[in-house]
């Protein structure tokens, strides 16, 4: 009987610890905010810009935070990043009516200086960064 009680206690505490143990969460930046790039002209700060080239596979969206983390792991230090996910509808702010359209994803990263590693990660250098159509809800990551 004592062994059964002891085993029960061990099982209880093991499950308790397993449920309450949290893995550390990696931070990709100091903050992220939602911005509207469509209602009025958006001015990107000065810097070196790279735009992600979406293919058929990635056109359904990517994990922008994971990409940013990978860049930091490769010692590619970015200063800002903007991501707009794909959608099948465009709903302007303050509206309850959506337009049925294909909204292409966009992912732009700003660096302080050029880095060839960005090309290997699927980006192209651009002098005119943009978020495309229906950019009412763009996530801006900053460090």
Q: pLDDT (tens digit, 9 = 90+) per residue, 61-94?
A: 789 999 999 999 999 999 999 999 999 999 888 8
pLDDT over threshold 60, residue 26: no
pLDDT over threshold 60, residue 18: no
pLDDT over threshold 70, residue 25: no
Task: Output 94 or 136, whichever has higher pLDDT.
Answer: 136
Give the pLDDT of residue 95: 84
Give whole-number Cα distances, 88 to 35, 59, 107, 130, 140, in Å. 19, 12, 18, 19, 21
Q: Dihedral, CA atoms, 122, 128, 129, 132, nearest 10 degrees? A: -100
Confidence at 30, pLDDT banded by 50, 70, 90: low
| CA nearest neighbour of 137 among 90, 95, 100 | 90
Confidence at 97, pLDDT banded by 50, 70, 90: confident
Task: Output 76 or 55, whichever has higher pLDDT.
Answer: 76
Q: pLDDT (tens digit, 9 = 90+) per residue, 104-135?
A: 999 999 999 999 999 999 999 999 999 999 99
pLDDT over threshold 90, residue 20: no
Give the pLDDT of residue 29: 57
pTM: 0.77
């Amino acid at each position: 009987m004592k062994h059964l009680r002891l085993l029960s206690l061990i099982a209880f505490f093991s499950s308790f610890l397993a449920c309450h143990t949290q893995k550390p969460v990696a931070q990709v930046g100091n903050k992220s905010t939602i911005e509207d790039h469509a209602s009025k002209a958006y001015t990107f700060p000065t810097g070196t810009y790279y735009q992600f080239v979406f293919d058929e596979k990635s056109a359904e969206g990517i994990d922008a935070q994971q990409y940013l983390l990978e860049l930091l792991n490769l010692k590619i230090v970015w200063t800002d990043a903007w991501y707009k996910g794909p959608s099948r509808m465009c709903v302007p702010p303050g509206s309850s009516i959506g337009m049925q359209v294909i909204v292409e994803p966009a992912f732009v990263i700003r660096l302080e200086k050029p880095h060839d590693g960005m090309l290997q990660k699927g980006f192209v250098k651009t002098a005119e960064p943009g978020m495309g159509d229906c950019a009412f809800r763009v996530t801006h990551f900053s460090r």
